[in-house]
Structures are given as structure tokens and as C-alpha cells.
Amino acid sequence: MSERRAARGQAAGASEGHSAGMAIETRALSKRYRRASALTDCTISVPEGRLSALIGPNGAGKTTLLRILAGMASPTAGAAAVLGDTPRQDPSFLAEVGFLAQEIPLYRRFTPEDHIRIGAHMNARWDATLARTRLEELRIPLDQRVGTLSGGQRAQVALALTLAKRPRLLLLDEPVAALDPLARRHFLATLTTALADAEGGLTVVLSSHLVTDLERICDHVVLLSRSRVQLCGDIDSLLAEHKVLIGPQKDTLPIERTHQVVQAVRTARQSSLLVRTNGPVIDPAYQAEDVTFEELVLAYMGADEASPARHLTTVGED
């Protein structure tokens, strides 16, 4: 549905027609610690201009992935290319990538104004006016120590500082977690406006749990579960590729042979299969329905084993 990007005021063909540069490309990216693997064999790509949702249960590896892409950590295997470059400590790379960590890292004894001035000194390209205007609109005092602000206000300050860098890629690790619903809306609206203004020059990767919010504004998704990539692609195409097949309880093998079954729910009277279609579904016994984004995400997140094995979840007994 190019309505998503149209809804954001972005021309439908802006990033579809010509081979858009890839904002992020990884190949078999892995991060192993002594006891466990935080990321295993992750291959994703995020085209420029997208607002990508990074979804996954806790412990899936979202933070690790974002930190590697931001250059804060290094992978143990595999490769990553961010805006065409390997993430590294280089002023030009750092200027292009904005990173907002989960803990809202700010100096508690400094005021937002102090942080703005620090940012001006630590960045060649810095839009202090943008940051100040934004905080004033949100009625956040510029001269009060950050440690005394509420959690939501701190998040807004950190976001304003990240945006003031005017980066080409924004990596945001659960930025809306601490915001109340209204503030969340406001922030997400700001993001989409910034994207529209940039006309394809800004890419955002946003990790979050709140699927409904993401669905409204994101056009790309990367789904991680248990350190592996389960899904990666434009939301529109993914939704088009998946269908829920509802049919009588009977032998489902033919379906399974032709299409990739993501999730199967069997009750006494019927089976409901969420499949990734590999061509049209011809079996008349089955009724094909569109799948919602939330259903899709939940189905893939509930996967017990790594893809591409089939995932079969049985509910109820025959």
C-alpha cells in the first residue's frame, strides 16, 4: 500500500523507481558473547528514505543490532554497511548517523541548554535553533537540570538533541517507551514530518514494542526473534505476500507443500493457516483472507525455531 508513503506526503515513486541507495545492509551479522549469542546470522537491508520498525521480543537482539549499526559495538562475524560505509569511529560517519540509546543518556546535572551548547561544540553540523524551538513547543524548560525532569521530558530532550545533528540515518532504541500516549503521537508525528521534509534524505530505524503505533507510520519492518531475523522488507509487500487460509479441519499437507506456513491454528472444526504465499491459492476448500500487520508480527514472533523451518502452532486438540 503506497498509501502509507502517500499519507506522509511523499511521492510514491520517490524511493521505488530508481535503485535507491541502501541506508543499511548487513550480511550474516553476528554478535557472540561468552555464554550466548545476541545476534545470529542477520542479513537485512533497509532502503534509504524508509521509516523502518525494528520489532522483537525482549532479548531478541534489537539493541545489539542498533549499537553495532551506530558504531558503538563491533560484530563478531559478518559485515554491516551503513550509508555505504562500515560503521566506524570517524567524524564524517558519526555526523551522518544519529543514535539514541535506550537509557536516555544525558548528563543529569546539566540543563537542556547546556546539552545544546555541548552538541554545538561536538558537531560540525548542528541546528541549535531546531532543538530549542522543539523543546519550547513542548514546554520543556531549557534551564532546569535534566536530572529533575520527568522521564518523558528527558526522552524529548534526548530526541531533540539527536535531531539537531541533522543526520541522514536515525537509529532510535525504544524512544517512545517512556512517553505518555499523547507525547508518543506527537513524537511520531514529528518523525514523519521530518521524513517528509527530507524527501528521501532521512532514514529512520525505530525499535519499539507498540505494534499499532508502528503500523500507522512505518513502511518497512525488521523483525528479530531469539537473535535471528524473521522478517525484513517493506510492509506493503509483506502484507501482500501473506494470507490467512481458513478451511475445514483436514489434511493440510498439500498447502504446506506449496506455501510456507508461518502459523497454524487448528480447532475441532477448522484450521487456520497463516501462509507466505508462493503463488495463488487454488484450493477451493480454503478461504483466503488478508492478514493484518499485528497478526503477521505476532505469528513470526511466536516462532519457536529459527527460520526457514516451518512453524506449526497447534491450539486445542482434535
67 or 311: CB nearest other proteins: 67
* Cα 9 from Cα 111, distance rounded (Å): 35
116 or 255: CB nearest other proteins: 116
Binning the chain into helix, strand and coil, the percentages to the nearest 5 are 35, 25, 40
The CA-to-CA distance between both ends of the chain, in Å, stands at 38
The least CB distance from residue 238 to other proteins, in Å, is 30
124 or 309: CB nearest other proteins: 124
* Cα 116 from Cα 130, distance rounded (Å): 10
The least CB distance from residue 203 to other proteins, in Å, is 16
Residues 6 or more apart whose CB falls under 8 angstroms from that of 226 comprise 59, 60, 61, 306
Residues 6 or more apart whose CB falls under 8 angstroms from that of 81 comprise 22, 24, 25, 26
The least CB distance from residue 119 to other proteins, in Å, is 6
49 or 98: CB nearest other proteins: 98
The least CB distance from residue 89 to other proteins, in Å, is 4
47 or 71: CB nearest other proteins: 71
Helix axes of 128-137 and 112-122: crossing angle, nearest 10 degrees: 160
The least CB distance from residue 154 to other proteins, in Å, is 12
Interacting residue ranges for other proteins, rule: CB under 8 A: 67, 70, 72-74, 89-91, 94-95, 97-99, 101, 103, 105-108, 110, 114, 117-119, 121-125, 158, 161, 165
* Cα 127 from Cα 42, distance rounded (Å): 35
